């Protein structure tokens, strides 16, 4: 029993030694006080609604430390994390507890971000602004793509996919929707330039506009109205179709600021009516130094093949008011679709003509480039279904053409022989 006090003394001594031998840096350092007053500011996204011309949203402010709340409400803008010093503000009084705010938006087509806020004052006189979590608000139905295409020399067919669903309480109702058109950008419906469709959200419109001027560029816009506002979609341009010297019809399309034919040329004469030698035998094709036209695997689908003498002739191969595109014209087109490295993907036809798989983005431009192949200088036709070639307007002595392949997403510039035959795609002057 006499050893027990010694054991207790020894245990206590060990404890004291261990306490005093701890290194200073192992002790927890004091934490600085939290910056700002401690509030909880909430916004109820489920309570967001529209009625009587106003949006309504509910929120609340609470605290663990009993600060005074001098102001509360919401702020909103088109940039993430709106702030009261930068964006629109709607105040909802002072003090803790729930609140409700009514507000309007200056543009119902844009996406808006909303955050609740509260300005508080501590017992020490410190003022702080606390924000809650932002919520996204896009109050209008999304207007789906509009796809016009030339239906004739005086008519254009419009296909519109309609509207996406709007699920915001109070804004589901579509009062009217339709399509309008005009010769200038941003057309609005007046007396005879629009067509109305079903008010159902998801239903689209297919309509042929007739009585248009031949060879003119028209602008089309979809529009829709709810109790909040009337919103217009983006401008989409399309020219009425054109005929070549043989009477073949071509659709047209607006790509950026350019108007292009929607398919390859298949005419057999110049625009002044002068005939071009068509489909000579291989020996004649190989020996001629005059304009000549070769047949592709399918003239209606791929268009015809033209040697370089057709392109370099002083006569115009394309219809009146149109031309063979220059290097600058092609470069502008490629820039609109990701440059040389990527443009081929968007310009190719959006079907299996280039292979069984269709990568995402293929055909997005509507240019509808097809792999017609080429006619070699010896008269043989090769690469149909794999490669497509298009002449560049003459500049210097070299015959140049752009090429697309079934294996690449880009475009390539080639130098060809004058007696090779490839496709022509015309652009409006």
Domain that holds residue 223: 146-239
Domain check: are 151 and 133 in the same one? no
Q: What is the pLDDT of residue 19?
A: 30
Domain check: are 312 and 349 in the same one? yes
Q: What is the pLDDT of residue 201?
A: 67
Domain final position from 239, 258, 278: 239
Domain check: are 276 and 404 in the same one? yes
Domain check: are 254 and 214 in the same one? no
Q: Using one digit for the tens of pLDDT, what is the confidence trace for 9-60?
A: 333 433 333 333 333 333 333 333 334 567 889 998 888 888 888 999 999 9
Domain final position from 239, 257, 281: 239
CATH code: domain of residue 53: 2.60.40.2060
Domain check: are 400 and 281 in the same one? yes
Domain check: are 296 and 381 in the same one? yes
Instruction: Classify each residue of 131-151 as buried b or exposed e, where b means 16 or more C-beta atoms within 10 Å of its C-beta.
Output: bbebbebebbbebeebbbebb
Domain check: are 269 and 399 in the same one? yes
Domain check: are 86 and 164 in the same one? no
Q: Check if the beta carbon of residue 330 is closer than 8 Å to that of residue 320.
A: no
Q: What is the pLDDT of residue 110?
A: 87
Is 14 within a domain? no
Number of domains, the chain: 3
Q: Is 240 exposed, middle or buried (0-12, 13-18, 19+ CB in 10 A)?
A: buried
Is 20 within a domain? no
Which of the residues in the chain have pLDDT under 70? 1-37, 64, 66, 200-202
Q: What is the pLDDT of residue 123?
A: 77
Q: What is the pLDDT of residue 258?
A: 92
Domain check: are 51 and 192 in the same one? no
Domain final position from 137, 170, 191: 137
Domain check: are 351 and 206 in the same one? no
Q: What is the pLDDT of residue 36?
A: 54
Q: Cβ contacts of residue 177 below 8 Å, gap of 6+?
A: 162, 163, 196, 197, 198, 199, 222, 223, 224, 225
Is 15 within a domain? no
Question: What phi and psi, each to the nearest 5 degrees, are found at residue 398?
Answer: -85, 140
Domain check: are 283 and 417 in the same one? yes
């Amino acid at each position: 029993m006499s050893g027990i006090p010694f054991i207790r003394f020894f245990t206590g001594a060990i404890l004291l030694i261990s306490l005093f031998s701890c290194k200073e840096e192992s002790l927890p350092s004091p934490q600085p006080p939290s910056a700002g007053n401690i509030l909880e500011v909430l916004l109820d996204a489920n309570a967001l609604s529209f009625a009587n011309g106003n949006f309504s949203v509910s929120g609340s402010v609470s605290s663990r430390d009993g600060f005074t709340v001098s102001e509360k409400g919401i702020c909103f803008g088109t940039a993430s994390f709106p702030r009261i010093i930068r964006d629109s503000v709607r105040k909802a009084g002072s003090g803790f507890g729930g609140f409700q705010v009514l507000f309007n938006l200056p543009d119902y087509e844009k996406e808006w971000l909303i955050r609740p806020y509260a300005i508080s004052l501590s017992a020490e006189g410190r003022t702080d602004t606390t924000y809650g979590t932002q919520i996204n608000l896009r109050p209008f139905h999304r207007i789906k793509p509009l796809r016009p295409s030339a239906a004739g020399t005086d008519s254009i067919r419009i296909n519109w996919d309609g509207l996406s669903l709007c699920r915001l309480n109070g804004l589901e109702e579509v009062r009217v929707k339709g399509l309008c058109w005009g010769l200038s950008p941003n057309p609005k419906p007046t007396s005879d330039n629009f067509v109305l469709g079903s008010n159902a959200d998801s239903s689209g419109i297919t309509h042929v506009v007739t009585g248009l001027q031949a060879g003119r560029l028209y602008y089309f816009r979809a529009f829709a109205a709810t109790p909040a506002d009337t919103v217009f979609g983006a401008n989409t341009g399309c020219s009425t179709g054109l005929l070549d010297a043989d009477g073949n019809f071509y659709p047209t399309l607006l790509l950026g600021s350019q108007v292009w034919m929607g398919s390859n040329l298949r005419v057999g004469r110049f625009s002044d009516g002068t005939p071009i030698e068509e489909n000579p035998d291989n020996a004649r094709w190989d020996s001629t130094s005059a304009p000549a036209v070769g047949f592709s695997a399918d003239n209606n689908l791929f268009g015809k093949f033209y040697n370089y003498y057709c392109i370099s002739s002083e006569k115009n191969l394309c219809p009146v008011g149109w031309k063979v595109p220059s290097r600058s014209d092609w470069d502008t087109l490629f820039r609109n679709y990701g440059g040389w490295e990527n443009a081929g993907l968007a310009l190719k036809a959006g079907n299996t003509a280039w292979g069984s798989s269709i990568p995402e983005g293929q055909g997005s431009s509507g240019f509808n480039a097809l792999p017609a192949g080429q006619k070699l200088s010896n008269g043989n036709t090769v690469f149909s279904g794999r490669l497509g070639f298009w002449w560049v307007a003459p500049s210097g002595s070299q015959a140049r053409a752009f090429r697309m392949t079934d294996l690449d997403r880009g475009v390539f510039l080639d130098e060809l022989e004058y007696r090779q035959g490839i496709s022509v795609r015309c652009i409006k002057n």
